Amino acid sequence: MPNIKHLEDICTQVRRDILRQVHKVNSGHPGGSLGCTEFFVALYNEIMDRKDTFEMDGIGEDLFFLSNGHISPVCYSVLARAGYFPVEELNTFRLINSRLQGHPTTHEGLPGIRIASGSLGQGMSVALGAAQAKKLNNDDKLVYTLHGDGELQEGQNWEAIMYAAGKKVDNLIATIDLNGQQIDGATDDVLPMGSIKGKFEAFGWTVLEIEEGNNLEAILDGMAKAKAETGKGKPVCVLLKTIMGNGVDFMMHTHAWHGKAPNDEQLAIGLEQNPETLGDY
Amino acid sequence: MKTYTYTEKKDTRSGFGAGLTELGRTNPNVVALCADLIGSLKMNDFIKENPERFFQIGIAEANMMGIAAGLTIGGKIPFTGTFANFSTGRVYDQIRQSIAYSGKNVKICASHAGLTLGEDGATHQILEDIGMMKMLPGMTVINPCDYNQTKAATIAIADYDGPVYLRFGRPSVPIFTPADQKFEIGKAITFTEGTDVTIVATGHLVWEALEASKVLHAQGISAEVINIHTIKPLDDAAILKSVAKTGCVVTAEEHNILGGLGESVARVLATTQPAPQEFVGTNDTFGESGTPAQLMEKYGLNSASIVEKSKKVIARK
């Protein structure tokens, strides 16, 4: 059984890392990062079968692709705390000459990143290629992805969603961060997308829902069920219902903190709500 | 003067198909992707021999570029196939982020480039692709001149680690390079030596340049014809050496002169040894329907145009 207390401690520390990264450079995307903290921590610490060292080809291990690259603060924190690079490097987030670019990239050789993302809608296609390469290599490990819900407005996703089912790419688990928010407001106001579940099912995917996407046990349970659905001829989609800004009360349930950093006072409040657990960088 | 002849004409896309087929037999990491244009890209033989290494994507070029990028992560060498228009402009951001910026070993293979796909008209005739691709950091841009060179280039790029744009076409054009000529990325080939004017050509306009050099020779003008098959990285040294001798240059390409090979040559000259230059190419225009021969004539992409520009540039020395 996974040690939930330990995972919660990591989550609390990751939330601190997110706030401190964006505060230092007064830029970046805390809202979606906080909303996906539990998912990222569960993924890298429990769900994925991954190696401790980083090789680009990822042969013989599960892979993860972040399609909504703007939530780089959570990604960098979790990668660092999983041992891919020194946690002190989080100090360089968005600074010149850093490997921690505003959006994740392979360009500076940051361990843990296999593709650049940021321009939205491209990650699922890349994941499909990686998943099909695994099949060619007789590699039975899985490919995981994360996408924003607003990101699904990009048409390339639907090319990929159609292809994945049509070509039976069943070693892929695509998770949608269903927080209902995007830059300009609620997704229902910006562009109502109807039933995302219904759309994925109509395209031929197996769809699972995690109602409490900020609850570690719910995530672990839901992702275990998703994993059990792989290898059955259909791609698997997880609809992860999260709260944007989760864990910092004034950032929750709003799109206001999508791409805005806290000031000194707001940072202090956020950190107070998330006391140090593993040690700040 | 060294003269060139041909006994056979063939489409350069068939050179690509033949090269891909050979790669299928020799390199197990090579995989191919196509967006519903197998026959047009001449990929049939590769697919027949390696069905498990072929990915039919459907009419979804953006998805194809992403899948290709992902396949490289598992150690594959993907060759994507569709028309030049749908290989570049339609998917520029996908290439930019998922392939070029991410440094992925994808070979973007583009047929039906330029005006000479003919009757389909301007929606399919891209004249801006070289410009778009050469602007992407780290992208190698290759435009071979005949069947043999296209086949050799296809085989050569599999051994190069990095993103490549390989451009070829639909019309049958003379085969005048040897079948056994090794393809060296970034290395210009001098076809004829001359002293009065340098003609730098790419793609099937190399043949037109050779035809032009015969006409010029008959009129007492000595032209040096250089084949630039690799537009990026450009063989600066070969161009500078030739122009140092001739003192002027004509560039010829089936592409918009804004953003094409000619501008790359002009940059090299302007920054090192300025010399008069004239451009053969389309000038800030879309194409239109017509036969390849009619279009070459109407848009001045032929030997007559190269002769005219050569005389003009010599007069400017």
Query: A91: distance to nearest CA of chain B, Å?
Result: 24
For chain A, give the number of residues: 281
pLDDT averaged over chain A? 97
At residue B2, the pLDDT reads 86
Tell whether domain B189-312 is in CATH 3.40.50.620: no
Tokens of A4: 């939930």
Q: Would you give the DSSP letter of residue B138?
A: T
Distance CA A197, CA A220 (A): 20
Count the alpha carbons within 13 Å of A226 in the hemisphere toward its beta carbon.
30
How far is it, in rounded angstroms, from Cα A152 to Cα A156? 9
Contacts of A57 in chain B (CB under 8 A): 73-75
pLDDT at residue B1, rounded to an integer: 80
Active-site pick, B8, B22, B52, B61? B61
**How many helical (H) and strand (E) elements, i.e. helices and strands, does chain B have?**
13, 14
Contact across the interface for B74 and A134, Cβ inside 8 Å: yes
CB contact under 8 A, A58 and B103: no
Q: Is the pLDDT of residue A13 over 90?
A: yes
The SS3 call for residue A142 is coil
DSSP 3-state of B2: coil
- With 0-12 / 13-18 / 19 or more C-beta atoms within 10 angstroms meaning exposed / middle / buried, residue A5 is exposed
Cβ-Cβ contacts under 8 Å, A156 against chain B: 62-63, 66, 94
Give the separation between CA B275 and CA B73, rounded to whole angstroms: 45
What residue spans of chain A are helical by DSSP H?
4-25, 30-35, 37-42, 72-81, 123-136, 155-166, 187-190, 196-202, 216-228, 264-272
Residue B166 near residue B107 (C-beta atoms within 8 A): yes
Mean pLDDT of A109-125: 98
Mean pLDDT of chain B: 98
The model's pTM is 0.97
Q: Where exactly are the structural domains of chain B?
A: 9-174, 189-312
Q: Could you tell me which residues come within 8 angstroms of residue B277 by beta carbon, excluding any fewer than 6 positions away? A: B248, B249, B250, B251, B262, B265, B266, B269, B313
Average pLDDT rounded to a whole number, residues B72-82: 98
Residue with the bigger pLDDT between B2 and A207: it is A207
Chain A nearest-CA distance from B288, in A, is 29
- Above 0.95 for ipTM, yes or no? yes
Task: List, for residues A60-74, the tens digit of each pLDDT value.
Answer: 999 999 999 999 999
DSSP state, residue B170: S
DSSP designation for B99: I
Cis peptide upstream of residue A73 (ω within 30 degrees of 0): no
CA B238 to each of CA B234, B243, B265, B268: distance values in angstroms, whole numbers, following the listed order: 9, 9, 11, 11
Degrees to nearest 5, angle at CA A44 with A42 and A49: 110
CB A39 within 8 A of CB A240: yes
Average the pLDDT over B153-177 and give the result: 98
Query: Residue A260, CB half-sphere, CA atoms under 13 Å: how many?
Result: 16
Average pLDDT score over residue span A77-81: 98
Q: Which secondary-structure segment (H or E) carries B48?
A: helix B44-49
Tell me the per-residue pLDDT of B246-278, one tens digit each, with 9 for 90 and over.
999 999 999 999 999 999 999 999 999 999 999
Contact A163 B70 (CB under 8 A): no
**Which residues of chain A neighbour B60 with C-beta distances below 8 Å?**
159, 162-163
Find the residue in B nearest to A154 (Cα): B62
Task: Decide if domain B9-174 falls under CATH 3.40.50.970.
Answer: yes
Instruction: Give the integer Cα–Cα distance in Å for A216 and A234.
Output: 26
From chain B, pick out residues whose CB is under 8 angstroms from the CB of A65. 70
Q: Do B102 and A115 touch (CB under 8 A)?
A: yes
* pLDDT at position A2: 83
* pLDDT score for B15: 98
For the question of residue B61 being annotated catalytic, the response is yes
Q: What is the mean pLDDT of residues A37-62?
A: 97
Query: Quick check: B63 and A160 CB within 8 A?
Result: yes
Q: Residue A1 pLDDT > 80, yes or no?
A: no
Residues A57, A60, A65, A71, CA torsion sign: negative
Q: Strand (E) positions, chain B?
A: 9-11, 30-34, 54-56, 77-83, 107-111, 140-142, 164-167, 172-174, 189-192, 197-201, 223-227, 230-232, 249-256, 277-282
pLDDT tens for each residue of A200-226: 999 999 999 999 999 999 999 999 999
- Say whether pLDDT at A133 is over 90: yes
CA atoms within 13 A on the CB side of A27: 9
Residue of B53, B90, B97, B101 best to disrupt the A interface, most CBs of A under 10 A: B97
